[in-house]
Structure 1
Amino acid sequence: MRPFLFCIAGVLCLFVSCKKPDYEKVLHNPDLYRITVKKLNDIVLENNFPPVTASRNYVYANIAAYEVIAAGDPEHYRSLSGQIKHLPSTPRPAKDTTVDYQFASLLAFCYVGNAVTFPEGSMDQYVDGLKQKAKNAGMPSDLFEGSVNYANKIAKFILKWSKGDHYAQTRSASKYTVKQQDGRWIPTPPMYAQALEAHWGEIRPMVLDSTAQFIPPDPPPFNIKDKNSKFYRQALEVKVIVDSLTKEQKHQADFWDDNAFKLNVVGHASFATKKFSPGGHWMNITGIATKAKQTDFNTTVSIYTQTSIALFDAFINCWYLKYRSNYVRPETIITKYMNADWRPYIQTPPFPEYSSGHAVISSAAAEVLTSKFGDHFAYTDSSEMEFGIEPLSFKSFREAAKSAGMSRVYGGIHFKNACIVGNVQGREIGQLVVRKLKLKSN
């Protein structure tokens, strides 16, 4: 019997060794990366990060995750070091160290996400859960330790690099000076908030040669007396559209509102409602697309990363233009010169009008996603259902980007010109990101 038992044991060992380890099934599932990005998105929402700073949260966390993947599979993925000209060479694992690169990628994302958001430690419990998943699924202790250590190494490297982007300096920069000057932006009701991130155009971009690259022509000059002037006609156009909104136009305005902090005033009481930022919305769209196409873990990480880079640079470029133009919002013009009781359909955000941030960043993200999935990728965006807003379906990412831009006109917070121009501006940024960054080697 002994030889027979030995044979059975040998066959069982062979069978077990050929099986995919349980920890790989659990941790190499791209759904887990999508869930991890959504976790950061939820933290960003809960803590009122404005759109521009939210884009910074996403980009550094995704780059950390991607650099781990590139280190683990250099045959198929290229490091961003050198492609992003100011990103130094990424550290490699210590010699004789074993690393599960997908697990380390998840941890690196969380470590960086934890450090660039607040309150401190927001992702600690989630990280503990990831580590427990690895242990429960049977990851060997040496592989576990090697993965944790490498994730820490990459996270520290990315965080050190991030500190050179001029973000810290903008925290103490001078505040925007409000001037009662015709055609110039001033705070709007109900918050009358100070200008948001007036120095974001000074942040170091990833791919743009300068923050001033792809700047469109100036908007129409202030001229409210001449009813045939472009300025007057664009203001009247917004008023007419908002005064006669269709159900579908209202749906689009609500769907793309993405207001991280809306102040609701009822009588003498006020309260805030929150949604994820425009960048967070496009992170969700990235998740929808990668899931629909069933991309593997590494591809999923790379697509999130390139999309987040496009969003980051698009916000910098747009914010530079906003605070160069200091252009007035439709609400200010319409209530002062046309109808004092008029209000936009959605709440006007606290920064200058030109150009439309949502149009710019949506088009930039759409170009990256189009390069991955094609220009006829039809999908249904259910991102807003958690806020009680019905899904919208699109024939392509570019169609979605145009919808996002026009939604700001329906909302009454932008002139149409800013959205048309913003769409072109964002497309140029997105195409630049696609041309310059070659994440996959083949």
Structure 2
Amino acid sequence: MKKFFVLLCAVSLFACKHKSGDYAKYTSDPLLYSKTVKRLNDVVLYNNFSPVVASRNYAYANIAAYECIVAGDSAYQSLSGQIKHLPQMPKSDKSKTIDYHLAALLSFVKVGNAVTFPEGVLMDYYDELKNGADSAGMPSDVLKNTVAFSDTIVATVMKWSKGDNYAKTRSAEKFTVRQEDGRWIPTPPMYAQGMEPHWCDIRPLALDSCSQFLPPAPPTYNMKDSNSAYCKELMEIKRTVENLTNEQKQIADFFDDNPFNLHVTGHVMYATKKFSPPGHWMNIVGIAAQKSGADFDKTVAAYTETSIALFDGFIACWKAKYLHNTVRPETVINKLLDPAWQPYIQTPPFPSYVSGHSVISSASAEVMSHYFGDNFSYRDSSEREFGIPDRSFKSFRDAAQEASWSRLYGGIHFRSDLEQGNLVGKKIGEYIVGKLRIQTNSQNQLSLNK
């Protein structure tokens, strides 16, 4: 009887270590990756990360996931040596069985957890992914090997991330507000100081520098001449907001993407939240990947390159914003034309020129067109959870243009902010697509568009 019990224990132990099952159906589901990105998106939303900081969170987490894909799929090429200072990635032990898709998921979560707060906010979900793989039949040794490999990627990416000057910008001097005509000053209702005035000091990923795609100077502030380019643009904003159509209101609401919208009623103040612009575009990647039937690896690649465009787009945009330091329309209209005038959406706390939403939307659209096609139509359901109806688009560039013009309808940007922002974003997106070699040969590179 004792021998039988020992034998039974041995068999049970062997079965636990070598259990079989089609666990790849679980770990290789591209929708699971999109759901994982959404988990980070929710953390960013509920913890009030600014749009520029959010872009950093998405970029590092996706890069870590992508490097796991590279280790398991020879069709994809490492970003090491292609983006700023990224070292060679650790090699996996080919004698051990590793599930590279699970490694990508775990790496995304662990890096996402490390670059956000509160501490440990994503680790319950990390355990949920591991338990899901275990329940789907992943042998214990494969799970152990996968976690160990993921940890090497995470450690490398996190060490590299610390050299991007982010920590240094946390203690940099605050932006100095100067009460001069045409220069930015804080706007109601929050009257917050200039957000991230040193973001141009953050190390870019693909760009050579933050100044690589600087736009020309904006129209000169001139309210004395009603025929000046500046005055004409300002009056266009005033008239537009005062005569908004229902369609224009819907567009402004859909792309408002304000992560912290402050409401003031008498002595009562409260905030409502939505995804920031980069969070919105991360959602769009997931929608496109699912509609196109992209496999797990292509889905990760699309998220990664789009997140790089978002990250570099904000760095380039913030260089222009704080270089030119232009006043918001609301400030000028209230001071000179109508003290009671309000924009349709809330003015964000940083200078006007150029439009950040325009830059990052156009940059993202170029990358996503590369992956999914120039005329990829889709229905954007990202805003449903905020009670905002879906909108449909003929292409990513169509969506980027609408996102840009939403800022005019919202009353927070000049036409020149949008037009130049679109041009800068398009150049950045084209540059990233041309520079990064995601797949290992030209034939595979072309296949991304199929």
TM-score bin, normalised by smaller chain: over 0.9
Determine the structure 1 residue equivalent to 2:309: 310
In 2, the alpha carbon distance for the partners of 1:355 and 1:338 equals 23
Deviations 1:180-202 (A, max 9, x none): 01100000000000110000011
Q: 1:244 maps to which residue?
A: 243
Give percent identity, aligned residues only.
59
Q: Match for residue 6 of structure 2?
A: none
When structure 1 is superposed on structure 2, of 198-207 and 79-88 the one drifting more is 79-88
Q: Deviations over 1:241-298 (max 9, x none)?
A: 0000000000000000000101001121010001111000000000000000010001
Matched, 1:286 2:289: no
Aligned to 2:41: 41
Q: Distance in 2 between matches of 1:25 and 1:377?
A: 27
Instruction: Write the distance in 2 (CA, Å) between the matches of 1:326 and 1:377.
Output: 37
Amino acid at match of 1:107: L
Q: Tell me which residue corresponds to 2:221.
A: 222
Q: Is the Cα contact below 8 Å between 2:325 and 2:351 reproduced in 1?
A: yes
Answer yes or no: is the 8 Å Cα contact 2:84–2:204 preserved in 1.
no
Give the AA of the match of 2:52: V
Tell me by how many angstroms 1:95 deviates.
Answer: 5.8
Name the SS of the counterpart of 1:135 in structure 2: helix
Q: Which residue of 2 aligns with 1:136?
A: 135
Query: Residues of 2 paired with 1:171 and 1:268: CA distance?
Result: 32
- Aligned equivalents of 1:140, 1:440: Cα separation in 2: 31
Partner amino acid, structure 1, of 2:334:
T
| SS of residue paired to 1:271 | strand
Is 2:373 aligned against 1:386? no
Secondary structure (helix, strand or coil) at the match of 2:379 reads strand
- Contact (CA 8 Å) 2:64, 2:157: kept in 1 or not? yes
Aligned equivalents of 2:84, 2:256: Cα separation in 1: 34
Gaps of 5+ in 1: 1-19
Corresponding residue of 1:55: 55
Q: Report what 1:30 is aligned to.
A: 30
**Which residue in the other structure is 2:330 paired with?**
331
1:196 has 2:183 as partner: no
Partner of 1:345: 344
Alpha-carbon distance between aligned partners in 2 of 1:22 and 1:372, rounded to the nearest angstrom = 29
1:172 matched to which residue of 2?
171
Which runs of 5 or more residues in structure 2 are unaligned? Answer: 1-19, 445-450
Compute the displacement of 1:231 (Å).
Answer: 1.1
Aligned residues: 422
Partner letter of residue 267 of structure 1? G
Q: Distance in 2 between matches of 1:426 and 1:85?
A: 20
CA offset at residue 417 of structure 1? 1.0
Question: Cα deviation per residue 1:103-138 (whole Å; 9 max; x = unaligned)?
Answer: 011000000000000001010110111011011111
Give the whole-Å Cα distance in 1 for the aligned partners of 2:248 and 2:327.
23
Map 1:72-221 → 2, pairs under 5 A: 72-74=72-74, 76-94=75-93, 96-221=95-220
Give the corresponding residue for 2:7.
none
Q: 1: CA distance between counterparts of 2:179 and 2:96?
A: 63
Letter of the aligned partner of 1:227 in structure 2?
A: S
Deviating above 6 A after TM superposition, structure 1's stretches of 4 or more consecutive aligned residues are: none
Deviates most, 432-441 or 246-255: 432-441
- Deviation (angstroms), 1:27: 1.0
What TM-score comes out, normalization by structure 2 length?
0.93
